[in-house]
Amino acid sequence: MPCVRMETEIRKIINRWNKAVAEGNLKELSKLLAHDKGVVCFDTGGNTHVGHDRIIKIFEEFFKTMRVHLTSTGATIKSSGNVAWVADDQHGRIVDLKGRVIMDTPLKWTSVLEKRNGRWQIVQIHHSIPMST
């Protein structure tokens, strides 16, 4: 049953991440990301952001103008020891601060998590928009 427990824990993190992005909750995003200089985020614009503080700063700028409502439509979660990886088909609705839809699109989300001190933390995250969209 340890695999089921791990998957449940990771799914909760995905849900917390998605909720935080929809609400513009930097504090929650910060809790979910590893607090080190090696954490990496690849965004849909093809940019690479390295380090916890840099990633939070990018989200802070993003949240000044918009939010993204993410819905997981089929996450595959695997692990080995204290490392887990996720591949998730998602649906993203990007809205401005007045709730007007800017984009409504399928997304691909991958991430790598490490269990540190008994807690799963995101060490790599990547969102992309499929080419056919």
Q: Residue 133 has which token pair?
A: 């969209």
**Of all residues in the chain, what percent carry a pLDDT higher than 90?**
85
Share of the chain above pLDDT 70, in %: 98
Q: Which CATH number fits domain 2-128: 3.10.450.50, 3.40.718.10, 3.30.70.890, 3.30.1960.10?
A: 3.10.450.50
Mean pLDDT (the chain) is 93
For the residues 16-38, what does the mean pLDDT come to? 96
Across 2-26, average pLDDT: 92
pLDDT of residue 1: 41
Residue with tokens 């952001």: 49
Q: Please state the rounded mean pLDDT for residues 32-38.
A: 96
pLDDT, greater one: 74 or 103: 103
- 88, 117, 93, 118: which is closest to 105 by C-alpha? 93
Instruction: Give the confidence band of 101 by pLDDT, cuts at 50, 70, 90.
Output: very high
